Structure 1
C-alpha cells in the first residue's frame, strides 16, 4: 500500500466516524478530491470535508462565515443545516456542506464580482472572524518537506523570515475589510443562473483587500494562467488595480512562496511532485529567468 493510499484510507475512516457521530449515514459516499482537504460526496446532496490535523478552529470559523454570508445574501457554499459542526475525530475536523447546483469554473470577471460583494460587507459582529495571517502553516510545511534537501529548507526558512519583515512594513493601502484569504479562480464558480459563488471559506478574516486581489494578478503575470485582457476585465469590474500599489510585490512574493510550500507538502505524499517543488524554488531564487513562470499545477 502506498503512502497516498494510507492518506486516503485515513480520510475514509475519519469520515465514517464523524458522520455517524453527526447522525448522518456515510454509506454510498464517493471521494471527490484528496488534497489539502479531503472532499466526499454523500447521498442526498451533502459534501463532507475532512481537514488536516489541527484545523478544528479554522473549520468552525468557516462554518460561521458561511452562515454569516448566507444571512447577508452573499452567494457562497452553504453549510449543511441542523448539524452541530465541525465534528473532530483524531484531531481532524469534519464539516458538511450543501452540494453546489450545476456550475462552471470561475473567470477573472467572476472573481472580481464575488470579491467586490464580499469586500463591501461590514464585518460580522456575532463571532470573531479573526485577522489575516498570510504565513499560516508555512513553517510547518517547510519542516515537513522531507523530499527537499536541508539546504533547500534552510533557504526557505530564511526567505520566510524576510517575507515576514517585508509584510510588517507594508505601505498604506485600501481600508481593511473581510477578505476571502484564498481568492484564486478555482475558489469561485459561476452557477447556471449566473451567480458568482465563493468556495473554500476557511481563510476568511479581516485583512487588506489587496491580499485577495493579488491572487488574480499572480494568475496573470506570474503564471500566465489568464491573459492581460482578462486582468484588465478583472480590474474594471472590481474597481482597483493592485499592481499599481507599492506593496504589491511583497504580497505577490508571499503568494508565490505559499504556492511553493503547498507543492512541497504535496510532494511528501506524492513523490512524483518533487521535481515541481525544486523547479519552483529555482524560479523564486531567480535561477530560471523572469516571470511568467511555467509552473505545473499540483493537486
Structure 2
C-alpha cells in the first residue's frame, strides 16, 4: 500500500495552516504561537497567548454537523453542565468548506482524567431533559459498515471476516434487552475526551459523537478503555461504583463490548491511509480479534 503522509484532519500542511490563519483572523485571534495538541482525527491546536483551543474539523466533515455540535454545547453551557466552554464568538467559522471551532483552554496536569471522574458528568448527561435540537440516533453497526466499505488496504479475506463478524453482532444486538432509559449519550467517553478543571473534577469535551441512544454504549466504552489501555479493573470498578451501574454485570455486556471494540478497530482501519503509523496496531488488534483475545492491551492511536 502506498501511503500519503498528510497533516492532522486529512489536510495537507499548507492547507491546514491556511485554514487556521483565516479562521483566526475572522475570530480576531492571534495564531502566531499556534501549537498542535492532537491530530489523529481533527486538528486540535493551542493558541497559548489567547488561551484558546482551535479545532479544525477533519476533511469531509459536514459543516451542518459541526453547527449542530456548537448549538448543543451552547445548550449545555446555558444549563451549567460540566463541559469545556466555547470561546464567545459566532461559530463555527467556515473556511473553504472547512468548519473551525474555538474553545476555552484548560491547562492540564500530566495525568489524564480518571474513569471515576467521568462518572458524575456522564450520569448528568444521561439524565438530561430532551434538548431543544434534533440529535442523530446512535448506530454502531452502521458506523462499522461504513468504515469497512471505505477500507481498501486490508486483504480481502480479512475484510470478509470483519463483515461476517459485524453481521453476527448485528443479529445478536436484536436480542439485547437494555436496562437504562434512552437519552443523550456522548458516544465516545474516555479519559482523553474529558479534562481536569483544576478543582478536582472533570468536564466532558469532544462532542462530535453526541447522539441519542442507550447509555449502556457510553458505559461499555469506559470499560473497554480501562481494560484495553492498561488502566485496570480497579480503575473501572471505581467508575462503576461512582456511576451506580456496572455494565459488566448486565446480560447485554458481551454483545455491546464486542460491537464497540469492532467499531474502534474498523474506524482506525479506515484512517490508516491518512495515518500510516497506525497500520501495525490495527493489524495486531484484528489478529487478537480473530484469536478471541479479550485482554490484549491496545496501544493508543
Q: TM-score range by the shorter chain?
A: 0.7 to 0.9
Q: Which runs of 5+ in 1 are unaligned?
A: none
Alignment of 1:206-225 (within 5 A): 206-221=212-227, 223=228, 225=230
Where does structure 2 lack aligned partners over 5 or more consecutive residues?
Answer: none
Aligned residue runs from structure 1 range 105-144, under 5 A: 105-125=112-132, 127-135=133-141, 137-144=143-150
Match of 2:55 in 1: 49
CA-atom RMSD, angstroms? 2.4
The equivalent residue for 1:228 is 233
Query: After TM superposition, where is structure 1 displaced by more than 6 Å over at least 4 residues in a row?
Result: none
TM-score w.r.t. the length of structure 1 is: 0.88
Q: Is the 8 A contact 2:5 2:276 kept in 1?
A: no
8 Å contact from structure 1 (residues 58, 203) kept in 2 = no
Size of the aligned set, in residue pairs, is: 293
Change in CA separation of 1:262 and 1:172 when aligned onto 2, cut-off 3 Å: closer
2:40 aligned with 1:35:
yes
Alignment deviations for residues 3-30 of structure 1 (CA, whole Å, 9 cap, x no partner): 2356333322222333334454534322
Contact 1:146 1:268 in 2 (8 A): no
In the TM superposition, what is the alpha-carbon distance from 1:135 to its structure 2 partner? 4.1
Aligned to 2:173: 167
Q: 1:257 — aligned with what?
A: 262
Q: Distance in 1 between matches of 2:99 and 2:67?
A: 9
Which residue of structure 1 lines up, in the alignment, with residue 248 of structure 2?
243
Alpha-carbon shift at residue 138 of structure 1 (Å): 3.5
1:144, distance to aligned residue in structure 2 (A): 3.7
Residues of 1 paired with 2:280 and 2:108: CA distance?
A: 36
Q: TM-score, normalised by structure 2?
A: 0.87
Q: Structure 1 pair 65/30, CA: closer, same or farther in 2 (3 Å)?
A: same
Question: Who is 1:4 aligned against?
Answer: 6
Tell me if the contact between 2:229 and 2:298 (Cα under 8 Å) persists in the aligned partners: no
